[in-house]
Amino acid sequence: MHWIDWLVMFAVVVGIILYGMWKTRNVSSVKSYLMGDRELSWWTIGLSVMATQASAITFLSTPGQAYNDGMRFVQFYYGLPIAMVILVIFVLPIYYRLNVYTAYEYLEGRFDLKTRSLAAVLFLFSRGMAAGFTIAAPSIILANIMGWDLQTTIILTGAVVTFYTVFGGTTAVSVTQQQQMVVIMLGLVATAFIIVSQFPQEVSLADAVGVAGSMGKMDAFDLEFSWTERYNVWTGTTAALFLFLSYFGTDQSQVQRYLSGKSLNESRLGLLFNAAIKVPMQGFVLFTGILVFLFFQFTKPPVHYNKSNLARLEESNTYRPKVENIKQEFDAVFKEKQEAVLSLISAKKEGSKTAVQTAQAKVMDLNGQEKALRSQVGELIEGYSKESGKTLEANDKDYVFITFVVNYLPRGMIGLLIAVIFCAAMSSIASELNALATTSVIDIYKRSIVPGASDVHYLKVSKAMTIGWGALVIFFASFILLFENLIQAVNIIGSLLYGTILGIFVVAFAFKKIGGTPVFISALIGEAAVVFIYFYDRMDGVEDLGFLWLNPIGCGVVVLFSFILHGLIGKK
C-alpha cells in the first residue's frame, strides 16, 4: 500500500480506539465495565447491535459470496425483522423486569443452576469458535497485503483488539461502534461510486445491472421451497428466523448491547431500528459484490484471487507450465466474454429479443468456461498441497473483494476500505470478547466458583477473563482454514448450537409448568440430535438438508422432549 493509504487507515482506526479509551477513562465498577451503567440511547443501541453482527467477515466474505452466487444470500436475512418484533414484544420486558446482567441469569430463577450453566457453556463454545473466524478475517487481509505469515498476523490482530476491549469494557465497545458504522457505510458507498465510474463509457449502471440479471446474479426472491437449498424465501423467513431469535434473544454478545440501554423503550427502539436497517444494509453489501463482479466483466480478473497460492504454483517446475497454459486460455475466454457482454448490452438497447437470447446464451457459455478454468487452478492447488505437505485452500471467494480493493481503488480509498474492514473487526470481536468475559464471570465464576467477593475483585477477574478469552480465540483462529466461505462457516457454527439454546428459552418463556431437569435433559438430547443430523447428512459428501434447518430442529427437539420428560418425571 502507498503511504497515503497507511496514513488514512491508521488515522481512522487509531482515532476510534483513542476515542473509546477517552470515553471510558472513569470506568471503575464491574457494572460499568460489563453493562456500561445502562445509559445508552436507542440509536447507539441500534448501531451497536448492527455493528456487532456486521463483523469483518461481512465486508470481506459477503461481497465474495455475491460475486459467485449473486444476491441470493440476502434471503437469509428476511426473518430478521420478524425476530426483532417478537423480541421487542415478548423478551425484552422480561429481561428488564428481572434486571439481569446476562440472558442466562434468568434461566436459574426459572429452572435451576445446572440449566443456566448448560446454556452459558453452549454460548461460550459457539461464540468462542465464531470469534476465531472474526479474528481470522482481517488477519487474512493483512497477511495478503503485507506478505506476512498468517499465524503471526492472527496473533497481532487478536492482541490489539483484546487490549482495546480490556481497557474500556462494554461502554468502549458501544460508543465506538457509532463511528465505526459511519466509516463502514461511507467506505462502501464511495466504493460503489468508484466502481460504476470505471465501467466503459458506453455502459451505464442500468446496463451493467441488466447484465448481472441476465447472468442470474440479481435473484433476491426464490419462492421455490427446498429442504436442500440454503437460501430462499422460506429458509429465510422460517429456518433463519429461529437462528435470529436465538442470536439476538439469547446470545450474550447481542443481549449485552441492548441491556445497556437507558430504558426498556430505548432498547426496543434500538432493536426496531436494526429491524428496519439491517436487510437493506446487507443487500447493499451484497450489491457491492455484484458491482465487483460487473467490474471484472470489463477488466480482466486474475485466474485465481489468492495471489499467494498462484505464486506457490508458479515457483514449482511441475505446476508452472500448467498454470501458464490455463492463464493463456483464460485470457482468450475473457476477451471473448467481454465482447459478448457488450453485445448483450447492445442487443438489450436495440430491443431485439432474438439477439438478446443469442448474446445471453453466449455470455453464459463463456462464463461457464471461465469457471471451469478457475476450477482447474483449484485442482492444481489441491494437488500441490498434497504433494508438498503445505496446507493451501483452493477456494478463493474470500479474496475477491480485497483483491479488487488493493489493486483497483485509488490511493486513500484503499486505506479507507482496509479501515472499514478493521472497524468491523474491532466492533464485532470486542463485543464477543466482552460477552464471553461477562458470561464467564457472572454465570460461572461469580455464581459457582467465588460467590460473595468484592466489586473490585470481580472487575479484575472480568479483565483477566477478557484477556483469557482473547488468547483462546486467537488459538481457535490459528487453526481455522478457509471454509467454503467465512460468512457461511460462522452461520453453520451458530446453527449447530443456537437451536438448542433457543429451545431452552422457549420452554422457559412459554411453558411455565415444565421444570429444570426435563429441559436440561432435553437440551442434551437436542444438541446430540443436531450434531448427529449435521454430520450424518454429510457422510456421502452431499448436503441433503440446508444447515439453517438445524435451528428449528434443535429448538423443536428440546421443546418436544421437555413435554415428554415432564410427563414422565414431573416438575423437578
Whole-angstrom Cα distance, residue 8 to residue 419?
8
Give the model confidence (pLDDT) of 402-414 as tens digits: 889 888 988 888 8
Give the model confidence (pLDDT) of 318-352 as tens digits: 999 999 999 999 999 999 999 999 999 999 998 88
Domain count, the chain: 2
Contacts of 249 (CB under 8 A, 6+ apart): 83, 87, 91, 103, 255, 502, 505
Instruction: Give domain status of residue 136, yes or no.
Output: yes
Residue 546 Cα to chain centre, angstroms: 18
Question: Residue 362's CB: how many other CB atoms inside 10 A?
Answer: 17
Q: What is the pLDDT of residue 217?
A: 93
| Distances from the Cα of 521 to the Cα of 192, 504, 565, angstroms | 51, 10, 8
Chain mean pLDDT for the chain? 86
How many residues belong to the chain? Answer: 572
Q: What is the pLDDT of residue 19?
A: 75
Asked whether residue 78 falls in the same domain as residue 191, the answer is yes
Instruction: Give domain status of residue 525, yes or no.
Output: no
The set of cell numbers assigned to 328 is: 493463456
428, pLDDT greater than 80 = no
Asked whether residue 43 falls in the same domain as residue 129, the answer is yes
Asked whether residue 238 falls in the same domain as residue 362, the answer is no
Report the amino acid identity of residue 98. Answer: L
| Distances from the Cα of 458 to the Cα of 148, 451, 455, 469, angstroms | 38, 10, 5, 16
Three-class secondary structure assignment of 276-335: HHHHHHHHHHHHHHHHHHHHHHHCCCCCCCCHHHHHHHHHCCCCHHHHHHHHHHHHHHHH
Report the amino acid identity of residue 318. Answer: T
User: Which is more confidently placed, 142 or 315?
Assistant: 315
Asked whether residue 208 falls in the same domain as residue 332, the answer is no
Instruction: Give domain status of residue 197, yes or no.
Output: yes
Instruction: Give domain status of residue 211, yes or no.
Output: yes
Q: Band of the pLDDT at 199, cuts 50, 70, 90? A: very high
Contacts of 531 (CB under 8 A, 6+ apart): 496
Asked whether residue 199 falls in the same domain as residue 273, the answer is yes
Instruction: Give domain status of residue 160, yes or no.
Output: yes
Whole-angstrom Cα distance, residue 353 to residue 358?
9
CA atoms within 13 A on the CB side of 57: 23
Instruction: Give domain status of residue 265, yes or no.
Output: yes
Instruction: Give domain status of residue 257, yes or no.
Output: yes
Asked whether residue 233 falls in the same domain as residue 285, the answer is yes
| Distances from the Cα of 450 to the Cα of 30, 108, 457, angstroms | 15, 17, 10
Chosen domain end from 395, 429, 455 = 395
Give the percent of the chain with pLDDT over 90. 43
Q: What is the pLDDT of residue 406?
A: 86
Asked whether residue 69 falls in the same domain as residue 28, the answer is yes
Chosen domain end from 395, 427, 448 = 395
Q: What is the pLDDT of residue 290?
A: 96
Asked whether residue 283 falls in the same domain as residue 381, the answer is no
Give the model confidence (pLDDT) of 466-519 as tens digits: 999 999 989 888 776 555 556 667 778 888 999 999 999 999 998 989 999 999
Domain that holds residue 24: 3-298+412-479
What's the whole-number mean pLDDT along residues 551-571?
Answer: 91
Give the model confidence (pLDDT) of 88-113 as tens digits: 999 999 999 988 888 899 999 899 99
Whole-angstrom Cα distance, residue 81 to residue 85?
6
What's the whole-number mean pLDDT along residues 53-67?
Answer: 79
Give the model confidence (pLDDT) of 275-292 as tens digits: 999 999 999 999 999 999
Give the model confidence (pLDDT) of 6-52 as tens digits: 898 888 888 877 777 776 666 656 666 655 567 778 988 888 888 77
Asked whether residue 80 falls in the same domain as residue 142, the answer is yes
Residue 412, phi-psi category: left (phi > 0), alpha (psi -120 to 50), beta (remainder): left
Asked whether residue 100 falls in the same domain as residue 117, the answer is yes
Asked whether residue 378 falls in the same domain as residue 417, the answer is no
Asked whether residue 353 falls in the same domain as residue 277, the answer is no
CATH number where 273 lies? 1.20.1730.10
The set of cell numbers assigned to 414 is: 484503499
Are 436 and 345 spatial neighbours (Cβ–Cβ below 8 Å)? Answer: no
Whole-angstrom Cα distance, residue 542 to residue 538?
5
Chosen domain end from 479, 500, 535 = 479
Instruction: Give domain status of residue 203, yes or no.
Output: yes
CA angle centred on 77, ends 72 and 80, rounded to 5°: 165
CA angle centred on 366, ends 364 and 369, rounded to 5°: 115
395, pLDDT greater than 70 = yes
